[in-house]
A = this chain, B = another copy of it.
C-alpha cells in the first residue's frame, strides 16, 4: 500500500477526493467544492503548506467541533459598498469565497466594495480570493488574522498571526499579478520543510523567550506549540533592518480584519481555552475589491501593468542571477507544470489520505496508494 516515496496524483482525482471528504463530514456539496478548489489551487501554486496537506487538520477540527462544516454566512451589517459578516465558526474557505464575491458585486456597482468577516476559521491561501477579483477585471485585496505566532518589535513572545497581505490584478499577460505574503519573514510550514531536509533555520527568522535568535530547527518545532519561540516580522528583530515595518503591517492586517468586524484578535485567536481545551479560532478576514473600469479603461490598465512588469523584469540583474521575477510569475509556472504532471503527494500525506478514506468509506479515486 505505502510506496514509501512521493507520488504524483492527477489534479482532478485529488480535487474530487477532497470535495468528497468535506461532503463526508457534513459540508454542502457546493461549499465542499470551494474548499477543494482552494486547497488544490494552493498545491498548484506550489504552496504545499496550505494545500491538501492541510486536509487532515480541517478534517480533525470539524470532527472535534472546532469548525462547523455546514456554512452559515450571516450578513450582520450591509451598506452600498460595505458589509460585515458573522461566520459562526464555519469553514473559512466558502465564507471567504462568498465574502469576496459580495465585495466584487458591490465594486461592480459602485466602484469599490469591502467585506469584513468575524468568527471564521482558516481560509487557506489568501491569494485565492484576491485572484477572484483579478479574474473579474478588478484589483483584489485579501487579509486574514491568525493564531499568535509572531513577536512584535522588541517583544519575545508570539502575539500576532502571520497576517498575510494578498493583492491581485489583471495584466496584459495570461496570468494576473498576484502577491500573497505573510507579514512575517516566514511561516511554520517552511521550518517543517527544513526539518525534513535536516537543515538549520536561517538566523533571524525565529526568536526565543530570551530575545535570542534561534537556528535549531528541531528545537524550534518542538517549542512553537509551547510558545517558547516566535517568528519575526519582515525586516527581522529590532528596527535596523525595518522589523518595525513588518510589525506595523501585521498590526494593520489585524486592524482591518478584527477592527472592522468587531472580531477577536491576538491571543483570543489561540484556539485554546486557558486549560488547553481546543476551541474555535474565531479568525477575522477583510476583503476589498476595486473595479478598474471605474478608474481607467481596463485595456489601458492592462497595458500599463504589462509595461510596468516587463520593465522590472528587464532591469540589470545581480551577477549570477538569471532572472528578475514579478509576483505571480513563479506560481503561474508551477501551476502549468503541476497541471500536467500531477500533485506531489508525500508518504505522510498518503497515509493521512488512506486513513480519512477508510474512515469515510470513500472509494474509486484511482490513487496509486
Contacts and interface: CB of A to CB of B under 8 A. Distances in A.
Interface string A106-148: 0000111110100000000000000000000001000000000
B179 A324 contact: no
A301 B260 contact: yes
Given A234-B234, A265-B304, A296 B112 contact: no
Contacts of A296: 77, 84, 259-262
A210 to B, nearest CB: 6
**Number of copies of this chain that the complex holds:** 2
Interface in A135-168: 139, 151-157, 159-160, 165, 167
Interface in A143-200: 151-157, 159-160, 165, 167, 169, 177, 179, 181, 183, 185-186
A252 B167 contact: yes
A241 interface: yes
A139 B315 CA distance: 36
A35 interface: no
Given A156-B318, A204-B241, A319-B211, A294 B81 contact: yes
Nearest to A157: B316
Contact of A242 (B159, B186, B294): B186
B311 A159 contact: yes
A315 B247 CA distance: 13
Given A211-B319, A260-B290, A169 B255 contact: yes
A348 to B, nearest CB: 26
Contacts of A246: 234, 242
Nearest to A118: B296
A295 B116 contact: yes
22 contacts: A77-B295, A80-B110, A81-B294, A84-B296, A111-B114, A155-B312, A160-B312, A169-B255, A177-B251, A210-B318, A234-B245, A241-B241, A242-B246, A248-B327, A249-B249, A251-B326, A254-B308, A258-B304, A259-B296, A259-B305, A260-B292, A260-B295
Interface of A: 77, 79-82, 84, 110-114, 116, 139, 151-157, 159-160, 165, 167, 169, 177, 179, 181, 183, 185-186, 202, 204-205, 207, 209-211, 234-237, 240-242, 244-246, 248-249, 251-252, 254-256, 258-262, 265-267, 290-292, 294-296, 300-301, 304-305, 307-309, 311-312, 315-321, 323-327
